[in-house]
Amino acid sequence: MRKARFWGLLWTSFILELQGAPTSETKRTLTEGTHLMEKCPVSVNKYLYYRKAWQRLGDRGEIQTLVNTELTSGMNSKVQMGRYILDDMPREGIMYIHMSDLRLEDSGLYRCVIYQPPKAPIPLHQPIRLVVTRDPASHVDSIQNLAQSSTLPPVTTLPPVTTTTQGRTRASTRPVTQPMSTASLGVNPTHGTDALSTVPRISTTSIITIVVCGILSKSLVFTLLLIATQRSFGS
């Protein structure tokens, strides 16, 4: 029984070796925003005139081909699909994979394969377990920005309060007192002296004449009263 199991495991290992199937994973841990450079060895004797591809393996066994070559002439070729670049050098037995601008969602299992649809792909290298971690600097900046935004009070704009008096609506703004202009009173300060100069002036001679006349008129009245009194006594 043990011997049968031994031969069964040996046969399984032999088949996997012939197919080039990997038996373990290679882990790569990188920070988001960086890039992955991977080198996949290729047998020149077996796969010189074959197409190659870079694939991603899903958790449920699904396969996604991200980038693949088209030439089967055995000549060097370079293909780019978005953030993925495949640089194939078949005569040198090497293929380079480049993934730029890594993101957190890029974490997963990848592999280099001989691409021969509709046939199943042939793995060339051990699967690569890519783990993309968050950039500590950007994480700290995001936390600081969140803290600053949370401490700032919200800015609210209040509308002006209005009051209604006798059917009229007026804003309750504070009255501003302004100095009263002399122009609103109809007085021109530059012409004040001119207004005074227009008042008629009485000469000194006229004043003396009026006083003398007044005195004479009083004397005349007194003389007449005296004559009338004497006549009354004489009679």
Domain boundary assignment for the chain: 32-135
3-state secondary structure of 126: coil
pLDDT value, residue 151: 60
Structure tokens at 117: 């649809």
Q: In whole angstroms, give the CA distance from residue 75 to residue 54.
A: 18
Q: In whole angstroms, give the CA distance from residue 235 to residue 227.
A: 12
pTM > 0.85: no
Q: In whole angstroms, give the CA distance from residue 55 to residue 99.
A: 12
> Among the residues of 112-156, which ranges form H helices?
136-151
Mean pLDDT of the chain: 75
pLDDT in tens, 45-98: 999 999 999 999 998 989 999 999 998 999 999 999 999 999 999 999 999 999
Structure tokens at 51: 């197409």
Specify the CATH class of 32-135 in words.
mainly beta
pLDDT value, residue 213: 67
pLDDT value, residue 63: 95
Report the relative pairing of strands 128-133 and 26-31 from DSSP bridges.
parallel
The closest alpha carbon to 126, from 138, 110, 141, belongs to 110
The closest alpha carbon to 129, from 6, 20, 30, belongs to 30
- Burial class (CB within 10 angstroms; exposed 0-12, middle 13-18, buried 19+) of 193: exposed
pLDDT value, residue 45: 93
pLDDT value, residue 121: 96
Q: In whole angstroms, give the CA distance from residue 8 to residue 29.
A: 36
What Å distances lie between residue 192 and 113, 173, 179, 231, CA to CA? 108, 38, 20, 62
Which of the residues in the chain have pLDDT under 70?
A: 1-23, 138-203, 206, 211-213, 216, 218, 220-222, 232-235
